Structure 1
Amino acid sequence: MEKKNAWEKYPLGSKRDEVFQFAEEYRKFISACKTERECTAALYEEAQKAGYQDMDELIAANATVKAGDKIIANNMGKGIAMFIIGKKPMEQGMNILGAHIDSPRMDLKQVPLYEDTDMALLDTHYYGGIKKYQWVTLPLALHGVICKKDGTTVKVNIGDKPEDPVFGVSDLLIHLSADQLEKKGAKVIEGENLDLLIGSIPADEKDENGEKVKERVKANILNILSREYGVDEDDFLSAEIEVVPAGAARDYGFDRSMIMGYGHDDRVCAYPSFRAMLEVEAPEYTSVCLLVDKEEIGSVGASGMESRFFENCVAEVMNMTGAYSELAVRRALKNSKVLSSDVSAAFDPNYPAVMEKRNAAYFGKGLVFNKYTGARGKSGSNDANAEYVAKLRNIMDTNDVSFQTAELGKVDQGGGGTIAYILANYDMNVIDSGVAVLNMHAPWEIISKVDLYEALRGYVAFLKEA
């Protein structure tokens, strides 16, 4: 079944301008928000400006809510849940857009700073599924927080402003790489060798007390950290600092039809999910946008989809509507419909052998539905019901949303997973639905602007009509 290129719906003029305008707003978002904390802070602030009320404040005020009211819950600064109360009782179900806002990266270890041969370095542990060799010889930035014992928090964002220094992981020069080039790709760069070079100037031989300084380059770095950020070495014990590619997302291609940036997986789905909520007013069914952390490492932890955060939020919202009971919450979850908004692998003409062309996702063909992901014999996947797929096809066609279906590569070629199966544990109808990505999990990924726009349109249609 041949799908038309979605660009053909948007000839030069105002229609195409809408595509490019939304893409530019998204490009600025992912350039500024490279961590789950930064995404949460930015989207939470924008939601409040759009009339969303903080859930904790509503609970503290013993408030009640009604149809049309907007609520937002903040999960430890690493995720959000947004609700627009529908006209129908929540017990009849919700329309949910669920995405994740964490991305593959490197994290600093708790004891990261050391000196070796008059060089200061930071030890890292990679996060999520990465090809380690892709992360060397790149300009890298540090984003995160350092929490001190006195209760204060120091925000870290170094490497993305034009005047900032950048950091990086070195690689072996080609002239001495004979042995390295014989290794398999997974072993060319070892995980323990992804250490960040951060300085090479030694401190004075003696400190202010006249004591001889050991590891003088490390000491100089600590002096800088104390002077500019008010932190000491022990403060790394309670820090969360992420190592991410430095630099802004950029238009890609002569025709500027694409965006190259860090973190498209999964912010290219999270951002249009969020924006879709801003376009919905007075829905029939309660509309929800759920943005979570930790998907790249299995959705575990208090800020991941495996936690009770979302379930607790639903219970609190139903309590504020005056309709809470344990049974009512269970029914609300069971009767809900979900788009697990996550990316799909785009067909790459440089690597056609890993794809089966009839069931691959393509740039320019619109929103992608993955009936199942998983690996091998669909292991670990949520396999959506045919009845649900048919309903979504009707919604998309009725609203002239360009969409395509795909699976994640050839059978037995590899595989992956999303948060879909976790939401399906509540007995909901769930399907993966997102944007096709090239270079997925690389430091710089690529997406099509028109696919991004069709995702927004598809998510709005789902919230209004599912």
Structure 2
Amino acid sequence: MRDKEVIEKFAKDYLEFMKKAKTERLTISIFEDMLKEKGFIPLDEFTGDPKDMAVYHINLGKALFALRVIDDLRSGMNLVVAHIDSPRLDLKPRPLIEEEEIALFKTHYYGGIKKYHWLNIPLAIHGVVYTSEGKKVEIHLGEDPDDPVFAIPDILPHLDRKDKSVKEKFQAEKLNPIVGTVPSDEEKEAVKMNVLRILNEKYGITEEDLISAELELVPAMFPREVGIDRSLIGAYGHDDRVCSFAGIKALLSVESPSKSFGVVLFDKEEIGSEGNTSAKSRFYLRVLRKILKMQGVSDVEYALDEVLEKTSVISGDVCAGVNPPYKEVHDINNAPRLGYGVVLVKYTGSGGKYGSNDAHAEFVGKIRRILKKSGVVWQVGLLGKVDEGGGGTVAKFLADKGAQVVDMGPALLGMHSPFELVSKADLYETYLAYKNLLEKM
């Protein structure tokens, strides 16, 4: 039996983290502080023994590689990898419009969402704007109780009785939150002009500056304990910050490692891992090349292949738990349940395992033995019935490089919604699994 107080303490720390980790940039900033507190330093500032390093590298503020090097890197690594991006609404480059004397933001949804989830809930805005002078301006509005929020009002049921498909009824181009309703003294688009005046007075930005901005609309809701027994945590962004948090906490708790170990956190997983902060990018390989050079390796490219082929990877990502009203989408014999521990997922993908990393039996067997010997509570899971749907993770991109990889993380209910649910017990078992696997793989 686990100590309930230990689980509750870990859950409390996670709740505090999730209050602040609403975007990729904010998440990386929090993790950097955690790493520094435990003695990790930026790789570019390291001047010590290259065979005894606690270093990290941040890529464009949205991805991170933290690594504890023990002896020769060519012996391989144990890694936990995860992603830190979550479904959301992004502002378009020219977002501000006025219709019927109401100012609105035009948005483009990011990742897989059910569009109706985002109607009539309070939204906060986070991100950065770069002005025409090159100045960086951070915007965070909607989280403080005294802040205003944004909202996308739905049509009332009295005027919404036509039978339409979900795609027809909830259109992406209508996901436009209200920004303001008070006009200025201008004759044309007076409400929009008043919003621009406020933005300029508060942040020093112009309408044109919004072209060079990354502004994300996310739920303006704090994480909460769910259920009269307080056994669950409800929050925006469990997918996949729950795995990234567990991974970093595990990294900082490793006691008896067998080889070098680390955590890699990627961006852009929710849109196919495209771009130079994603799992398809080369930033983490560049880090490894640099360390190999620092260790005096002459043929770095051959050595890099050697490192990766001797590397074991846990792809930390969440899984769809059995939701009682919708259990028909699962193969119950292979479906994960909340409160039954971390989920080992041999493969994801869809339509005949297309787009998946199908972990090798030898590696899955090794993982099973470590989990059992370490006393970690775990279960097996798959993403729904065959041909019911499907999805993927970053696992296949690490496997492409030669590493042994398997997916593992907690089950969620309401995945990709603005308020996902995770079990406190599963959260803690995920941390324990990652810690033991970083030590013993």
Shift of 1:335: 1.2
| Kept after mapping to 2: 8 A contact 1:374/1:417 | yes
| Kept after mapping to 1: 8 A contact 2:82/2:316 | yes
2:143 matched to 1:160? yes
Q: Which moved more, 1:261-270 or 1:274-283?
A: 274-283
Amino acid of the structure 2 residue aligned with 1:230: G
State how many pairs are aligned: 440
Q: Which residue of 1 aligns with 2:36?
A: 48
Q: Which residue of 2 aligns with 1:459?
A: 434
Deviations 1:67-92 (A, max 9, x none): 442000001000100000124x2112
Deviations 1:285-306 (A, max 9, x none): 1101000100000001011111
Q: Which residue of 1 aligns with 2:266?
A: 292
Amino acid of the structure 2 residue aligned with 1:313: V
2:344 matched to 1:369? yes
2:89 matched to 1:115? no
- How do 1:161-176 residues align onto structure 2 when only pairs under 5 Å count? 161-176=144-159
Amino acid of the structure 1 residue aligned with 2:181: S
| Structure 2 CA distance for aligned equivalents of residues 452 and 149 of structure 1 | 44
Q: Which runs of 5+ in 1 are unaligned?
A: 1-8, 206-212
| Kept after mapping to 2: 8 A contact 1:68/1:283 | no
**Aligned residue among 410, 425, 435 for 1:435:** 410
2:285 matched to 1:311? yes
Q: Which moved more, 1:380-389 or 1:213-222?
A: 213-222
**Aligned residue among 68, 72, 76 for 2:60:** 76
Secondary structure at 1:69 match in 2: strand
| Kept after mapping to 2: 8 A contact 1:84/1:283 | no
| Structure 2 CA distance for aligned equivalents of residues 337 and 90 of structure 1 | 13
Q: Which residue of 2 aligns with 1:149?
A: 132
**Aligned residue among 111, 121, 135 for 1:138:** 121
| Structure 1 CA distance for aligned equivalents of residues 414 and 106 of structure 2 | 26
Q: Which residue of 1 aligns with 2:379?
A: 404
Amino acid of the structure 2 residue aligned with 1:20: E
Secondary structure at 1:375 match in 2: coil
Q: Which residue of 2 aligns with 1:198?
A: 179
Q: Which residue of 2 aligns with 1:26?
A: 14
| Kept after mapping to 1: 8 A contact 2:239/2:416 | yes
Q: TM-score, normalised by structure 1?
A: 0.93
| Structure 1 CA distance for aligned equivalents of residues 405 and 52 of structure 2 | 25
Q: TM-score, normalised by structure 2?
A: 0.98
Deviations 1:297-338 (A, max 9, x none): 000101111111111111112222333521111110111000
| Structure 2 CA distance for aligned equivalents of residues 16 and 312 of structure 1 | 42
Q: Which residue of 1 aligns with 2:323?
A: 348
Q: Which residue of 1 aligns with 2:23?
A: 35
CA RMSD of aligned residues (A): 1.1
Amino acid of the structure 2 residue aligned with 1:369: L
Deviations 1:208-246 (A, max 9, x none): xxxxx4211001101100111111101101000000000
Identity %: 42
Q: Which runs of 5+ in 2 are unaligned?
A: none
| Structure 2 CA distance for aligned equivalents of residues 186 and 256 of structure 1 | 36
